[in-house]
Amino acid sequence: MENKKEEMAMPKDAVPVAKETKAEAKPMPEEGRAEHKEKKIVIPGDLIAEGRKKLGQHVFIENGKIYSDALGITYPNSGTAYVVPLSGIYLPQRDDLIVGIVERETIKGYMVDINSIYSCYLSADKCRDRLEKGSIVSAKIDSVNEVNEADLFDVRVFYGGTIIRVVPAKVPRMIGKNGSMLAVLKEGTGSSLLIGRNGWIWSKGGDQKKLAEAINLIESEAHLDNLTVKVEAFLKGKKVNE
Amino acid sequence: MAKKDEKIEYVKNGKRLDGRKVDEIRPLKMKVGVLPNADGSAYLEWGQNKVLVGVHGPKEALPKHKQNPYKGLVRFTYRMATFSVPDRKNPRPGRRESEISKVSGEALEKSIFLERFPNCAIDIYVEIFDSNAGSRAAGITAASVALADAGIPMKDLVCAVGVGKAGGEIILDLNKDEEDAPDAVDIPIAIMPRTEEIVLLQMDGPITKPEWNKAVKLGIQGCNQVYEAQKVALREKFAKVEKGK
């Protein structure tokens, strides 16, 4: 039943990050790739575009020019000016699927740690099961207010399993384009997986050691190309070429 | 160090005591992401100065009465290790450290999009392990790099350098011997290099107006040299991207 849940949650979650994972395509011939995937490292204050362009994330306008506000990667040939940051904390956004840990119980609900600035309040009416300190839940963000406090809905409780923590900025690479990387990870390790947008990954069963290694590999090479192929090779026990 | 009645030539044939030119900074080396438990970190060696910076946050600002619902808070802590100077330094934070923490935090504040983090605080801890004049400039430079490493949205990096006068000459990036000159003037300056907006400017000692103009000009030029080193340090962390292209 858990598997079904993940399948349901995954495609929806993959939609908002699809843009950022543009680079995550199947291997293409070298020449064809260069023009699509020309990328550039930018640091805060670097010029991204001079003219008018659609604005994406982590950019700002000053005197009609577009600048980066973070350390990250940009794609100069893209129609949208945006920067994929290489680090940063998680700020909740509507409809994000997250993994949380119950921090404490209050009179009529629970406080759930979601690896963000604030913990979330979760009303006891919203969940059928009784939770306790340390329970692992997955939930979606219902709404976020102006000081980045979030409300949760669609809460599910997980029994057992462990949580692997990664940098939230690298979660899109963990999921891959249309969930390709997630599928590779599930197949290669045989684990049940749920990747929270907040950088926490719940996993149970399968080859946990291999999973942790694969996730480490993705995290350390999140800015490189052809990662899915590399991880697939790694999980199959082939030697990963540097 | 100079004896009282002994006259030292601080600039001789265009070269200084340590062999540098008047507009040359000391060798500068930076490394990003050195502390695994901090959100962002940097280690800097600038001449004899050694600085380690850790950035934590943004996180909820506590105590609650310090929170500002319109913008975030920058809490900068400058601390000198007891062994950072020739005589043991009392570890108790003194007037000098409080002042440097205040002005450095305010300098960095200018570059951060604080309005995106209402009720939050960003903690910056600057630890000076070895000090040889210009440690506040080193602290600000390293802290700005650490902030970028932490993924905190910023308008620009902040780079700082010390400029001043020794033996009647305007020189860049003074070391301790030059700072101890009888007529020494020390002007730490920090700018945001893209707009050349000055975010920190202090001065001690007497200086004439033409000298001042020359010093500020030289300071901005020095900051740009520091900026290049900052860029290299940040890009180095992801050098693989360019290799993989």
**Is pLDDT at A27 greater than 50 in this prediction?**
no
Cβ contacts of A198 within 8 Å, gap of 6 or more: A90, A92, A96, A98, A99, A100, A114, A115, A116, A168, A171
The pLDDT mean for chain B works out to 92
B72-87 pLDDT, tens digit each: 999 999 999 999 999 9
As a whole number, mean pLDDT of residues B99-116 equals 96
**How far is Cα B126 from Cα B129, in angstroms, rounded to an integer?**
10
Q: Do B58 and A71 touch (CB under 8 A)?
A: no
A197-201, A233-237, B105-109: lowest mean pLDDT where? A233-237
Asked whether B5 and B205 are in contact (CB, 8 A), the reply is: no
Q: Do B155 and A225 touch (CB under 8 A)?
A: no
Domains of chain A are: 10-21+162-235 (3.30.1370.10), 30-85 (2.40.50.100), 97-158 (2.40.50.140)
**How far is Cα B41 from Cα B36, in angstroms, rounded to an integer?**
8
Distance, in angstroms, between A185 CA and closest chain B CA? 23
Query: Binning pLDDT at 50, 70 and 90, where does residue B128 land?
Result: very high
**Is pLDDT at A242 greater than 60 in this prediction?**
no
**Cβ neighbours, 10 Å, residue B161:** 31
pLDDT the model gives residue A236: 85
CB-based contact (8 Å) between A200 and chain B?
Answer: no
CATH number of B19-240: 3.30.230.70
**Is pLDDT at B206 greater than 70 in this prediction?**
yes
pLDDT the model gives residue A221: 85
**How far is Cα B150 from Cα B133, in angstroms, rounded to an integer?**
27
**Is pLDDT at A9 greater than 90 in this prediction?**
no
Query: Positive or negative, the Cα torsion across A5, A213, A165, A14?
Result: negative
More confident residue, A44 or A225: A44
pLDDT the model gives residue A126: 83
B14-67 pLDDT, tens digit each: 899 999 999 999 999 999 999 999 999 999 999 999 999 999 989 999 999 999
Distance, in angstroms, between A8 CA and closest chain B CA? 32
- ipTM, interface predicted TM-score of the complex: 0.90
Asked whether B217 and B224 are in contact (CB, 8 A), the reply is: no
Sequence spans of domains, chain B? 19-240
Give the up-direction half-sphere exposure of residue A128: CA atoms within 13 A in the CB hemisphere.
Answer: 4
- Strand B120-130 and strand B73-80: the pairing is parallel
The verdict on pTM exceeding 0.80 is yes
Candidates B149, B242, B245; nearest CB to A71 = B149
Lateral strand order in the sheet of B49-60:
B28-32, B40-46, B49-60, B120-130, B73-80
* Type of residue numbered A71: L
Query: Binning pLDDT at 50, 70 and 90, where does residue A36 land?
Result: low
**How far is Cα B29 from Cα B11, in angstroms, rounded to an integer?**
25
Candidates A37, A71, A118; nearest CB to B60 = A118
